[in-house]
Amino acid sequence: MSRRFPILSALIALIGAAFFIVPLIATFNFSLRMKRGELSFEAYRSVFDSDVFLGVLGFSATASLMAILMGVLIVVPTAYWVRLRVPRARPVIEFLSLMPLIIPPVVLVFGYVRLYGSSSILPLTMTEAGTNVLLVIGYVVLSVPYMYRAVDNGMAAIDIATLTEAAESLGASRLRTIVFVIFPNIRSAIMSGAFLTFSISLGEFVITSLLNRPAFGPYLVQMGQDFAYQPAALAIMAFAFTWICMVLMEAFATRKPGQRLLPWRAPRSVTKAKS
Partner 1 sequence: MIHTAPPSISQSETVPQATPPTPPRKPTRRNLSWLGLVPFLGFALLFLILPVFYLVNGAFQTPDGRYSFETMLSLSAPEIAGSYGLSLKLSFASAAMGTVFGLILGYALLLGGLPSWVRRAFMTFSGVASNFAGVPLAFAFIATLGRLGLVTLVLRDVLGINIYAAGFSLFSFWGLTLTYLYFQLPLMVLMITPALEGLRPEWREAAESLGASRMQYVARVALPLLAPSVLGCFLLLFANAFGTLATIYALTSANYPVVPIVLFQQIRGNVLYNPNLGYALAVGMILIMGLSNTLYFILRRRAERWQK
User: What residues between 37 and 96 interact with partner 1 by CB under 8 A?
Assistant: 73-75, 77-78, 81-82, 85-86, 89, 93, 96
From the list 42, 94, 131, 168, which residue makes contact with partner 1 (rule: CB under 8 A)? 168
Q: Taking the complex as a whole, how short is the minimal distance between the CB of residue 34 and partner 1, in angstroms?
A: 12
| Footprint of partner 1 on 203-222 (CB under 8 A) | 203-206, 210, 217, 220-221
Is 10 one of the binding residues for partner 1 (CB under 8 A)?
yes
Q: Compare residues 14 and 156 and give the one whose CB is closer to partner 1.
A: 14
Measured at the CA of 103, the angle between CA 102 and CA 105, to 5 degrees, comes to: 130
Q: Does the protein bind partner 1 through residue 239 (CB under 8 A)?
A: yes
Cα(175)–Cα(157) distance, integer angstroms: 21
**Interaction of residue 101 with partner 1, rule CB under 8 A:** yes
170 binds partner 1 (CB under 8 A): no
* Separation CA 168–CA 180 (nearest Å): 12
| HEC letters along 120-183 | CCCCHHHCHHHHHHHHHHHHHHHHHHHHHHHHHHHHHHCCHHHHHHHHHHCCCCHHHHHHHHHH
Q: Is position 183 an interface residue for partner 1 (rule: CB under 8 A)? A: no
Query: Is position 150 an interface residue for partner 1 (rule: CB under 8 A)?
Result: no
Least distance (Å) between residue 23 CB and partner 1: 4
CB 27 within 8 A of CB 235: yes
DSSP string covering 195-245, please?
HHHHHHHTT--HHHHHTT---HHHHHHHHHHH-SSHHHHHHHHHHHHHHHH
Stretch that binds partner 1, among 54-62, 171-179, 183-191, 262-270 (CB under 8 A): 171-179
Rounded least distance, CB 266 to partner 1, Å: 26
Stretch that binds partner 1, among 48-56, 133-141, 255-263, 265-273 (CB under 8 A): 133-141
CA angle 140, 128, 49 (to 5 degrees): 85
